């Protein structure tokens, strides 16, 4: 799986944690990450944990990443144990999930678990723990767990609450037949959507907001490629098939679990298709309705491993060695291809060989906390940068970028003019000369830049290596 703190969304959450611990950080641009986390207590909880325990932020992140993954796998084992009597099936299922943690979830731009600490990992652990309580017949214990998950990641928690409702219905003796009949009916999700008392979601969006939204391809369901549609619909068919087979074999609890996943998927797929096809509901796009597939992919991976263990694997060392080698090798190779410029495990205290991360480290240690930086708006996609966030790792303010800051604009269109102005000012970045950087300084107060090496003439650069330069704008 690897471990990459500060990467992708962790550039948002980690910056927020550090801002809570040190309010003097990010005096110029905190809005771009605070807007995105206003509905979660994750950053405040992490900051409080660091404050009261004295554990440094990098080690606290690693600790809770490990704990989140451990709980996810423990819950998968508990679910497998409830649904399969065969011990080999249970362990094969857990092994499959462990190997496939970085499996992409159709076209949603997320994996089963993130390679860094993310509230989605912690919320997923709590949701799965709630599922184990329902399967154990202790439904009341699921409620506080789902509430905690809501405080960490509201969108994922709502999906978890929805699934737990379907599972509770499917496993209730007096209503499971009603559930079977219900899934044969056409869902009516529009009624539920109409009851949401959030009028701002229906306000007409502006052109800048639409531009930002267009950068988030995973939010546009009807622009997905055929294989992404296959990745969304095939799991639903597989759970329908599992339900029918388990029902015929008299495996009652497995059949009810499968029908709960199937009904949950059909309902949310219909909701997503209606919401994302209705122009009047375009403001709901950022709620990412297709991410219901996250839970389905976890259960699909778990069931696939359990069935392999039940029907194909024998208690022989060579078979298990081959199984583990097969399911892990491909995923490991994929991760190394994805992060070619970075160590597989970016552990605290370990000096990175990545020139971008070296530059960020130098900035953090050698520039004023109120320094204002500008980087190539597309720096996250630069070769070897591997999507590591400057704000989180350098702990300094930066002008808006073209890849991650669009998430803030998509959530709050009022940020659009600020984002647009900063993006326009950085047009033509690869060809910038000293006068262009001085223009950014005059317009925004930018006094430092991170540029490629060699830097443009006239820029004093106290740090550089063969790829990146950190320069002060005179």
323 CB-near residues (< 8 Å, 6+ apart):
92, 95, 308, 313
User: What pLDDT is recorded for position 218?
Assistant: 65
- Helices 293-311 and 252-277 cross at an angle (nearest 10°) of 150
306 vs 282, which has greater pLDDT? 306
pLDDT band at 192 (very low <50, low <70, confident <90, very high): very low
Give pLDDT tens digits for 233-268.
999 999 999 999 999 998 999 999 999 999 999 999
Tokens of 101: 């943690």
Q: Over pLDDT 90: what percentage of the chain?
A: 71
Mean pLDDT, the chain, as a whole number?
Answer: 88
Ranges of each domain in the chain: 10-55+347-472, 62-313
Question: How far is it between the farthest Cα atoms of the chain?
Answer: 78
CA distance 383 to 380: 9
Say what the pLDDT of residue 58 is.
95
Whole-angstrom distance, CA of residue 471 vs CA of residue 35: 29
> What pLDDT is attached to residue 284?
72
Residue entry with tokens 């508990």: 78
Q: Is 370 helix (H, G, I), strand (E, B) or coil?
A: coil
Look at strands 448-452 and 468-472 and give their pairing: antiparallel
Residues 191 and 252: their CA atoms lie apart, in Å, by 32
Q: Over 60: is that where the pLDDT of 148 sits?
A: yes
Provide the edge-to-edge strand list for the sheet that holds 372-374. 397-398, 372-374, 448-452, 468-472, 463-464
- Burial (CB count within 10 angstroms: exposed 0-12, middle 13-18, buried 19+), residue 176: middle
Task: Give CA–CA dist 354/364, Å, rounded.
Answer: 16
Task: Tell whether the model's pLDDT for residue 211 goes beyond 70.
Answer: no
Check whether 174 has a pLDDT greater than 80: no
Number of Cβ within a 10 Å radius of residue 197: 5
Contacts (Cβ under 8 Å, ≥6 apart) of 17: 43, 46, 47, 50, 57
Sign, CA torsion 212/218/222/226: positive
Each residue of 312-365: pLDDT tens digit?
999 999 999 999 999 999 999 999 999 999 999 999 988 899 999 999 999 999
Beta strands in 372-467 (DSSP E): 372-374, 397-398, 448-452, 463-464
- The model's pLDDT over 86-126, given as tens digits with 9 standing for 90+, comes to 999 999 999 999 999 999 999 888 999 999 999 999 999 99
Q: Tell me how far apart the alpha carbons of residues 302 and 52 are, in angstroms, rounded to a whole number.
A: 37
- The CB density around residue 194, as the number of other CB atoms within 10 Å, is 7
Q: Distance (Å, rounded) from C-alpha 395 to C-alpha 402? A: 19
Q: What's the predicted TM-score (pTM) here?
A: 0.89
Q: What is the pLDDT of residue 214?
A: 64
pLDDT given for residue 9 in this prediction: 87
Q: Is the pLDDT at 20 greater than 80, yes or no? A: yes
- Listed residue (440, 455, 467, 424) closest to 372, CA to CA: 440
CA–CA dist 353, 287 (Å, integer) = 37
């Amino acid at each position: 799986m690897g471990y990459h703190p500060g990467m992708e969304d962790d550039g948002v959450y980690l910056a927020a944690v550090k801002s809570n611990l040190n309010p003097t950080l990010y005096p110029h641009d905190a809005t771009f990450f605070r807007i995105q986390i206003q509905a979660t207590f994750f950053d405040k909880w992490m900051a409080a944990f660091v404050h009261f325990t004295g554990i440094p932020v990098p080690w606290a992140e690693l600790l809770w990443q490990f704990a989140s993954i451990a709980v996810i796998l423990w819950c998968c084992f508990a679910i497998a144990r409830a649904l399969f009597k065969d011990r080999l099936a249970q362990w094969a299922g857990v092994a499959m999930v462990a190997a496939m943690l970085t499996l992409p979830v159709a076209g949603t731009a997320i994996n089963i678990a993130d390679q860094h600490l993310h509230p989605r990992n912690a919320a997923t652990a709590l949701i799965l723990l709630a599922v184990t309580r329902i399967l154990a017949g202790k439904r009341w214990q699921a409620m506080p767990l789902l509430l905690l998950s809501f405080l960490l990641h509201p969108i994922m928690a709502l999906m978890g609450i929805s699934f737990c409702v379907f599972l509770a219905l499917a496993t209730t003796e007096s209503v499971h037949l009603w559930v079977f009949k219900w899934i044969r009916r056409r869902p009516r999700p529009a009624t539920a959507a109409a009851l949401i008392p959030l009028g701002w979601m229906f306000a007409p969006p502006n052109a800048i907001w639409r531009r930002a939204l267009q950068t988030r391809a995973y939010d546009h369901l009807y622009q997905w490629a055929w294989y992404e549609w296959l990745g969304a619909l095939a799991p639903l068919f597989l759970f329908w098939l599992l339900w029918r087979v388990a029902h015929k074999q008299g495996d009652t609890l497995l059949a009810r679990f499968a029908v709960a996943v199937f009904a949950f998927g059909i309902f949310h797929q219909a909701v997503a298709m209606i919401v994302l096809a209705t122009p009047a509901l375009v403001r709901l796009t950022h709620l990412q309705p297709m991410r219901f597939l996250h839970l389905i992919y976890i259960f699909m991976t778990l069931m696939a491993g359990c069935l392999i263990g039940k029907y194909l694997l024998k208690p022989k060392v060579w078979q298990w060695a081959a199984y583990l080698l097969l399911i892990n090798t491909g995923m490991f190779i994929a991760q190394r291809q994805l992060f070619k410029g970075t160590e597989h495990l970016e552990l605290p205290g370990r000096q990175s060989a990545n020139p971008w991360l070296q530059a960020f480290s130098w900035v953090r240690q050698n520039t004023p906390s109120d320094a204002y930086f500008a980087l190539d708006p597309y720096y996250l996609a630069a070769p070897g940068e591997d999507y590591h966030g400057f704000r989180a790792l350098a702990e300094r303010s930066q002008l808006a970028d073209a890849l991650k800051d669009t998430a803030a604009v998509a959530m709050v269109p009022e940020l659009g003019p600020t984002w647009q102005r900063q993006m326009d000012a950085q047009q033509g970045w690869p060809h910038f000369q000293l006068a262009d950087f001085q223009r950014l300084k005059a317009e925004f107060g930018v006094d430092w830049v991170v540029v490629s090496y060699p830097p443009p003439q006239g820029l004093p650069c106290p740090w550089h290596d063969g790829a990146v330069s950190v320069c002060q704008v005179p």
